[in-house]
Amino acid sequence: MQSTASKRILTVAALGLVVLARAPFADEHGPGAAPNGISLPEGYKDWRVVAASHRDDNNTLRVILGNDMAIEAARAGNTNPWPDGVILGKLVWKDARHEAWEKAVVPGEFVHAEFMIKDTGKWPATGGWGYARWKGMDQKPYGKDASFVDECHGCHTPVKDNDYVFTRPAAIP
Ligand code: HEC
């Protein structure tokens, strides 16, 4: 009787240890959070397109995506300011040439995924936007500490009058 009870205790303790041991790896199914605490937005691979861009100074292709709220706001022309809850994402690839049509510039090596999350209550110091970036195919969080956002926000400040957003939603008939 007693031995059954102690076996049970041992089993419970062992299960507890398994749970504890797994806890530090809770994010093993996804990359770690950015240094400012932002997690990689869930489901971003299924978001719809807001616009696309190409930089010819560093030869990269970009697709700008939005969560449902962003698409809704973009289509309603409700983008200055973008409402709370909006997330804009940008995926960046190095330019590559299509092997069967070399004049076609296509996505090559993946560079990074980055996001701007609108929450005016949470991110008042950066125009209401929370910034985060994950680099490369292994999605390494960018920035050695939370001050990395100064770099993001600083470069987005020239478009302050457009709610710190460069992208204009592309016309779609
Ligand atoms: C050197 C200037 C510069 C820096 C630094 C910068 N951005 Fe941007 N960002 C831009 C420009 C220019 C665009 C629009 C052109 C394009 O699509 O690349 C843009 C676009 C974006 C977009 C799409 C929405 C928009 O504003 O058009 C997101 C999201 C974004 N940046 C996030 C970030 C994050 C996160 C960081 C910091 C980790 C960051 N940016 C740092 C210049 C910068």
Ligand 1 midpoint to CA 120 (Å): 19
Enumerate residues 6+ apart whose C-beta is below 8 A from 54: 60, 61, 62, 95, 105
Ligand 1 atom closest to the CA of 90, numbered from 1: 29
* Pocket perturbation via mutation, ligand 1, pick of 54, 60, 62, 114 by most ligand atoms within 8 A of CB: 114
Query: Which of the residue ranges 9-13, 24-28, 102-106, 158-162 would you say has the lowest mean pLDDT?
Result: 24-28
Quick: pLDDT tens for 12-68: 555 444 444 444 444 556 899 999 999 999 999 999 999 999 999 999 999 999 999
Pocket, ligand 1, Cβ cutoff 6 A: 53, 55, 62, 64, 88-90, 114-116, 131-133, 142, 148, 151-152, 155-156, 165-167
Ligand 1 midpoint to CA 152 (Å): 7
pLDDT exceeds cutoff 60 at 165:
yes
Res 30: pLDDT: 82
Res 25: pLDDT: 42
Enumerate residues 6+ apart whose C-beta is below 8 A from 70: 47, 50, 82, 86, 87, 88
pLDDT exceeds cutoff 60 at 173:
yes
pLDDT exceeds cutoff 50 at 157:
yes
Ligand 1 atom closest to the CA of 159, numbered from 1: 26
* Pocket perturbation via mutation, ligand 1, pick of 123, 155, 157, 162 by most ligand atoms within 8 A of CB: 155
Count the neighbouring beta carbons within 10 Å of the beta carbon of residue 5. 9
Q: Residue 62, exposed/middle/buried by CB under 10 A (0-12, 13-18, 19+)?
A: middle
Distance CA 33, CA 142 (A): 9
Confidence of residue 10 (pLDDT cuts 50, 70, 90): low
C-alpha distances in Å from residue 46, one per residue of 49, 74, 104: 10, 17, 25
Res 57: pLDDT: 97
Quick: pLDDT tens for 115-126: 999 999 999 999
pLDDT exceeds cutoff 60 at 130:
yes
Ligand 1 midpoint to CA 22 (Å): 36
Token digits for 158? 């020239």
Q: What is the largest CA-CA distance in the chain?
A: 79
Ligand 1 atom closest to the CA of 142, numbered from 1: 38
Quick: pLDDT tens for 138-147: 999 999 999 9
